[in-house]
Amino acid sequence: MGKPRWGSDRERLKTAVYPGKLNQIIALFESLPDAEKRESLISYAAAAMKQGPRDGETFDLEDIRKDEECTDTVGVFLKVSPQRGCAFRITLGPQVQTLTKAMTAILCKGLDGLTPEEIMEVPADFVPKIVGAELVRQRSQTVYYILTRMKGIARVWLNRERSAAHGA
């Protein structure tokens, strides 16, 4: 039997700060010494290129742009299932930094299947637990950028859903 969804069990929400998949990733990083943490981040960064859209996929929303906070263009693609589970695909330009690439793979895996509302509730305070306080200080904008973009596209989806419900 699978674990209950992060947002579906009120008691679990009181004890678990982060959704299950993301919580597992955080726990792994917290258990690693700094050298292994860096190696794991590099491994996740290598996996980031696999997070892009696949042939034939369609999306509910697409947001492709170059922001001041990032070194290159980033595309965020959102698909929401009939059960309201979100799937993200991300494209990264070649100049995107390694840490941003790592956070991309971590967040695509860690937020997979959550509802838009659950994504909006994920606090950003987990980032230092994964990348370490020193990297957060050095790259303060970079480490939060992908999470901000994912929450932004989820917010747009929710706003459109509300508008459609009020207009119907």
Domain limits of the chain? Answer: 10-167
> Which top CATH class is 10-167?
alpha beta
State how far the Cα of 150 lies from the Cα of 168, in Å rounded to an integer: 27
> Is the entire prediction scored with pTM above 0.95?
no
pLDDT lower than 70: segments of the chain: 1-16, 139-141, 168
Residues 48 and 78: their CA atoms lie apart, in Å, by 16
pLDDT, residue 144, reads: 87
Which of 25, 9, 3 lies closest to 118 in space, CA to CA?
A: 9
SS3 88: strand
